[in-house]
Amino acid sequence: MTNYTAINTKVRAMKGKLVLTPEEIDDRLAGYTLSDLYQALDQLPSYHQVMPSEQNKLDLTAENLIELIDRGLRYDFLKLYRFSGFEQRAALSVYGIRFEREFITKVLRGLERQESVPFVVNPFTDYLEKHRHFHIGELITKTSVLDSIDTFRDTDYGKFFEDYHDYFHDHDYNHYIISTVFEQYCAVLVWKKASRVLNDKALTRFKKLFGSEMDLANIRTIFRLKFYYKVDENFIRSQLFSPGRYLNEANISALLASQDKNSFFNLLTNLGYQDLFKSGENKVVGLKQQKAWLKTIEHRFAKSLPQSVLPLFDYLSLKELEADLLKEKVEAIAYQSPVTMPFHN
């Protein structure tokens, strides 16, 4: 077998257990309470594995259930990581940047609220400590935002916290600045690391996909800030991600100079994105449709290059879709009163 035959077989088996459409969610979970939903998740392998034990009794709230779903997503990521060889692990660490960004953000916000321990040690934090140079043992003892950022010194994010150190204080930080620049930093980090660890064919496809994702994010930002918030051009530029696929400096300048929404949408025709933003008279296409378009491309690339890491990325992207659908379902029934979470035997 090749390096990818075994893991692709595993991915196909895992993919067969996913719940991927709103219709499937509704068919399975129609009329459910949060307690019913918890029991349904217990029947799905990745969520079953992260159910709390009787010793870790929790209240069944929407927030706790959403965290459980996120833990199930990270469980599948770690499952693939453990099963992978060196080359595959290096590539999966690129995908894992999104989970690391979420973890760091959650820690900072928890410490800002002065929570004593804003996370629980678990297999994902073990992965961060063992493979990603996070000082989890130090971090778990920190009680202030400012003290915590030094624990990221040996990670890929150390340079970021060094550069933006002055925006952090004991019990707060500048959300407006940090949230934007941290996402931008992570986007560039993904691009750089992918360039180092993916082979030529996989990298070409990945750059097309990731570049398109950055293009769409930047177009949304320009459109929103220009036509709804009416802020100046320099500020808009400071909010943009790089790099992109088609959205170069000339195209960005043209979009910023557009006089009205119609001229803005006309410019998107030259980029091939017009159908992803306008589908009819005064109707703007939503983020969900754009994400669906990106997933279609990702799936096509994965099928075109099966002996690569792309099928793993494709699976994890589909798993994220499942998690998003389940979290939407949680939010839809969250008006119900919290009840005690059932125990997992």
Cα–Cα distance measured from residue 38 to residue 20, given in angstroms and rounded to the nearest whole number: 18
Amino acid 19: pLDDT: 82
Q: Which two tokens stand for residue 320?
A: 């994220």
Nearest to 309 by CA among 20, 127, 84: 84
Residues facing residue 295 across a β-bridge: none
Q: Which two tokens stand for residue 143?
A: 């009680």
- Phi and psi torsions of 168, nearest 5°: -110, 140
Amino acid 257: pLDDT: 96
Higher pLDDT residue, 57 or 217?
Answer: 217
Residues facing residue 278 across a β-bridge: 284
Higher pLDDT residue, 334 or 75?
Answer: 75
Mean pLDDT across 62-82: 95
Amino acid 54: pLDDT: 62
Please provide the average confidence, as pLDDT, over all residues in the chain.
89
The pLDDT-based confidence of 296 (bands split at 50, 70, 90) is very high
The CA-based diameter of the chain, rounded to the nearest angstrom, is 62
Cα–Cα distance measured from residue 132 to residue 135, given in angstroms and rounded to the nearest whole number: 9
Note the pLDDT tens digit of each residue in 114-126: 876 667 889 999 9
Amino acid 30: pLDDT: 78
The pLDDT-based confidence of 281 (bands split at 50, 70, 90) is low
The answer, yes or no, to whether residue 279 has pLDDT greater than 70, is no
- Please report, for the chain, the start and end positions of each structural domain, with discontinuous segments joined by +: 200-307
Q: Residue 83: exposed, middle, or buried by beta-carbon count in 10 A (0-12, 13-18, 19+)?
A: middle
The pLDDT-based confidence of 282 (bands split at 50, 70, 90) is low
162-166, 189-193, 247-251, 269-273: least confidently modelled range: 269-273
Q: Which two tokens stand for residue 106?
A: 């959650």
How open is the CA angle 259-236-282, to the nearest 5 degrees?
45
**Beta-carbon-side half-sphere exposure of residue 20 (alpha carbons within 13 Å):** 13
Residue pair 80/310 in contact by the 8 Å Cβ criterion: no
The answer, yes or no, to whether residue 56 has pLDDT greater than 70, is no
The answer, yes or no, to whether residue 59 has pLDDT greater than 90, is no
Note the pLDDT tens digit of each residue in 237-255: 999 998 899 999 999 999 9
What does DSSP assign to residue 245? S
Q: Residue 137: exposed, middle, or buried by beta-carbon count in 10 A (0-12, 13-18, 19+)?
A: exposed
- Phi and psi torsions of 278, nearest 5°: -140, 120
Measured between its terminal Cα atoms, the distance across the chain in Å is 38
Mean pLDDT across 160-172: 94
Amino acid 339: pLDDT: 44
Amino acid 340: pLDDT: 43
Q: What percent of the chain has pLDDT over 90?
A: 68
Amino acid 283: pLDDT: 63
Cα–Cα distance measured from residue 256 to residue 250, given in angstroms and rounded to the nearest whole number: 10
The answer, yes or no, to whether residue 338 has pLDDT greater than 60, is no
Amino acid 345: pLDDT: 38
Helices 22-29 and 310-332: crossing angle, nearest 10°? 50
H-helix segments, the chain:
5-15, 22-29, 34-41, 45-48, 62-83, 86-95, 97-112, 123-131, 136-139, 145-148, 158-163, 175-197, 200-227, 233-238, 249-257, 261-271, 287-304, 310-332
Cα–Cα distance measured from residue 293 to residue 10, given in angstroms and rounded to the nearest whole number: 26
Mean pLDDT across 262-287: 82
The answer, yes or no, to whether residue 27 has pLDDT greater than 60, is yes
Note the pLDDT tens digit of each residue in 80-101: 999 999 999 999 999 999 999 9
For residue 223, CA distances in Å to 241, 257, 260, 271, 313 come to 14, 11, 10, 15, 29
Helices 200-227 and 175-197: crossing angle, nearest 10°? 160
What does DSSP assign to residue 232? -
Q: Which two tokens stand for residue 239?
A: 């909010």
Note the pLDDT tens digit of each residue in 195-230: 999 999 999 999 999 999 999 999 999 999 999 999
Higher pLDDT residue, 138 or 118?
Answer: 138
